[in-house]
């Protein structure tokens, strides 16, 4: 039998210490041991029963239940005051064979894999690489669990690939304590697996429905317990990474148009002229208005070959030394020895120039987007806008930041549109304008984070720039009508699917304060239900 330890706790916090938040019980489930002789399918089914038992215990106690992964989200989206379930040790992995495919499937079975929720990005990459495969994209690093990534929309800056949820082709959800509450969902328009195969995982019901699948994809931890995901991978590829300083105007023009047809990055010993990069990212220090160049990261996709390290060296030691990794890391590097006084640090940023970095690295996806250690108490605010508005949004938010200084710097990343109903990458190409930095205290006499993020929302609204917010980042999530403003009718579609999948008591079990604050936990009114 799978075993769960239940620990009484007073509080819980995110990796970057954005809390603390109150908590009653911290639950940790481990799979049945290998020595039991159970097969992978049997272990998976066994732990599904255990999860349903835990859901029932929560419901019987009138308490809420929430699955968490690596707690990388900085907003309170992962938190629930009653029972938090740590599922990182639920990490079974399954290859899919030809006979297990749906008769109408257009997928290549060798690209499909079923991963249990607690698999972390790094272990998935290592598992896939042993089979000559790769994830299509990840976030800037690799510690998140697969279920955590898709539930909150984790993204990189892969212009033509999208976010992590965009290569998911099937979802195994546990929506309640009863046997029929274990379901497998995939798109009707793109079926993947045979019903009998899903039954190996205890799925009592197979649902093929685009609307349900798309709503459940970015489910915010509230569409039930995401027990497993089926993802589409691709053959191994290499990434050629280069960071250079680019004239502001040129960097912003590329951001606004994403037209690289006439652009030559002029990287030594390469010919990427006219090639749209796999990844394009612009870094910006909002305080140094005198800097006329932006640091820009170009990553191009190239064909994989085995002995690339003989040509380019091992990328990992270089990656460890680079400063243009994730934004918080860069911020801490350019701030140098951070003064204890945050206002002094902000003054320092006024003359701080983003460092030069022109070393090429080539490696697999998992090597370029590598480990990111804990970098201290951090904050991050991240807005999604249509890429045609990217320079305007950056200008407005940077100006606001100069008027109300906070210790952080900006970056812009670009993502292809997602089919997920509540994906923040909802524009044809979404530019994520983000500011990351370190937390400050009241005594620093700096604008409170909630007030700063309110002003950010207001400035985009006042300038008629449609936007979304990253679910896992800091914001004033209580801003009136925020989610409705961002998603309009899609919000109702999402709620409708939620009320179809989850009974009313289960909707409460799978809610939290974040959902209450954003009104996402409120069911649709009866008349609205008829209209959607």
Partner 1 sequence: MRLFKMMLFLSLALTLVSCYSVRFQVENGQWEPDDTEEGDPYYRGYLERSVPKKVVTKKLITGADYFNISDCESGALHTVEYKSTLGGILLNLVTFGTKKQAKVRYVCIKKEPSN
| CB distance 472 to 154 below 8 Å | yes
Other beta carbons less than 10 A from residue 322's beta carbon: 20
User: For residues 167-192, b (16+ Cβ closer than 10 Å) or e, as one string?
Assistant: bbbbbbbbbbbeeebbbbbbbeebbb
Q: Considering the complex, what minimum distance in angstroms separates the CB of residue 72 from partner 1?
A: 9
Nearest distance from residue 199's CB to partner 1, in Å? 17
Give whole-number Cα distances, 162 to 141, 186, 347, 418, in Å.
Answer: 16, 18, 37, 6
Kindly state the smallest distance separating residue 28's Cβ from partner 1, in Å.
8
Secondary structure (3-state) at 269: coil
Nearer to partner 1, 3 or 62 (CB): 3
Q: How far apart are CA 412 and CA 80, in angstroms?
A: 31
Q: Shortest approach of partner 1 to residue 484 CB, angstroms?
A: 33
Place of tokens 């940790």: 28
User: At its nearest, how many Å lie between partner 1 and the CB of residue 99?
Assistant: 17
- Angle (CA) 432-434-436 rounded to 5° is 150
- Of 226, 186, 212, the closest CA to residue 78 belongs to 226
Measured from the CB atom, is 20 or 428 closer to partner 1?
A: 20
Q: How far apart are the first and last CA of the chain?
A: 43
Q: How far is the CB of 92 from partner 1 (least distance, A)?
A: 6
Q: Which is nearer to partner 1, 108 or 123 (CB)?
A: 123
We find the least distance from the C-beta atom of residue 88 to partner 1, in angstroms, to be: 5
Residue closer to partner 1 by CB (options 89, 305) is 89
**Residue 68 or 255 having the CB closest to partner 1:** 68
**What does the binding site for partner 1 look like in residue numbers (CB under 8 A)?**
12-13, 15, 17, 20, 26, 28, 31, 34, 39-40, 43, 68, 70-71, 86, 88-89, 91-94, 120, 122-123, 126-127, 143, 316, 373-374, 376
- Cis bond upstream, residue 89 (ω within 30): no
Give whichever of 113 and 479 is closer to partner 1, judged by the CB atom.
Answer: 113
Q: Which is nearer to partner 1, 380 or 524 (CB)?
A: 380
CB 312, CB 335: distance < 8 Å: no
């Amino acid at each position: 039998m799978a075993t769960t330890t239940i620990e009484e706790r007073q509080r819980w916090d995110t990796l970057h210490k954005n809390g603390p938040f109150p908590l009653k019980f911290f639950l940790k489930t481990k799979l049945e041991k290998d020595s039991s002789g159970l097969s992978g399918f049997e272990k998976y089914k066994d732990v599904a029963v255990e999860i349903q038992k835990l859901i029932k215990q929560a419901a019987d106690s009138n308490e809420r239940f929430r699955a968490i992964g690596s707690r990388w989200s900085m907003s309170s989206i992962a938190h629930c005051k009653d029972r938090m379930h740590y599922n990182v040790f639920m990490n079974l992995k399954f290859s899919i064979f030809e006979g297990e495919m749906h008769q109408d499937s257009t997928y290549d079975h060798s690209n499909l894999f079923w991963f249990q929720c607690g698999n972390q990005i790094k272990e998935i990459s290592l598992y896939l690489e042993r089979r000559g495969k790769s994830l299509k994209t990840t976030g800037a690093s690799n510690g998140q669990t697969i279920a955590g990534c898709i539930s909150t929309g984790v993204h990189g800056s892969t212009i033509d690939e999208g976010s992590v949820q965009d290569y998911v082709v099937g979802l195994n959800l546990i929506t309640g304590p009863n046997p029929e509450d274990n379901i497998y969902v995939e798109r009707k328009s793109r079926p993947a697996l045979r019903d009998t195969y899903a039954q190996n995982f205890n799925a009592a019901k197979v649902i093929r429905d685009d609307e349900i699948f798309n709503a459940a994809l970015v489910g915010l931890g509230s569409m039930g317990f995401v027990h497993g995901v089926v993802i589409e991978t691709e053959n191994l590829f290499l990434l050629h990474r280069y960071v250079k300083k680019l004239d502001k105007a040129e960097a912003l023009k590329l951001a606004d148009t994403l037209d690289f047809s006439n652009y030559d990055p002029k990287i030594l010993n390469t010919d990427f002229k006219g090639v749209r990069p796999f990844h394009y990212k612009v870094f910006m220090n909002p305080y140094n208005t005198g800097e006329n160049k932006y640091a820009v990261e170009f990553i191009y996709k190239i064909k994989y070959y085995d002995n690339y390290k003989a040509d380019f060296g091992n990328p990992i030691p270089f990656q460890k030394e680079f400063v243009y990794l994730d934004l918080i890391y860069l911020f801490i590097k350019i701030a140098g020895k951070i003064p204890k006084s945050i206002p002094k640090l902000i003054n320092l940023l006024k003359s701080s120039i983003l460092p030069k970095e022109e070393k090429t690295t080539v490696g697999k996806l998992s090597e370029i987007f590598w480990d990111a250690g804990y970098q201290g108490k951090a904050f991050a605010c991240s807005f999604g806008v249509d890429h045609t508005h990217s320079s305007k949004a950056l200008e407005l938010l940077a100006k606001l930041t100069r008027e109300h200084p906070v210790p952080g710097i900006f970056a812009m990343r670009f993502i292809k549109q997602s089919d997920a109903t509540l994906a923040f990458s909802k524009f044809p190409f979404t530019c994520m304008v983000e500011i990351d930095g370190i937390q400050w205290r009241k005594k620093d006499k700096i604008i409170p984070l909630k007030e700063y993020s309110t002003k950010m929302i207001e400035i985009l609204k006042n300038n008629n720039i449609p936007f979304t917010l990253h679910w896992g980042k800091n914001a004033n999530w209580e801003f009136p009508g925020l989610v409705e403003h961002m998603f309009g009718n899609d919000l109702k579609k999402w709620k409708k699917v939620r009320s179809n999948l989850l009974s009313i008591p289960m909707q409460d079990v799978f809610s939290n304060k974040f959902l209450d604050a954003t009104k996402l936990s409120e069911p649709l009114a009866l008349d609205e239900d008829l209209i959607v």
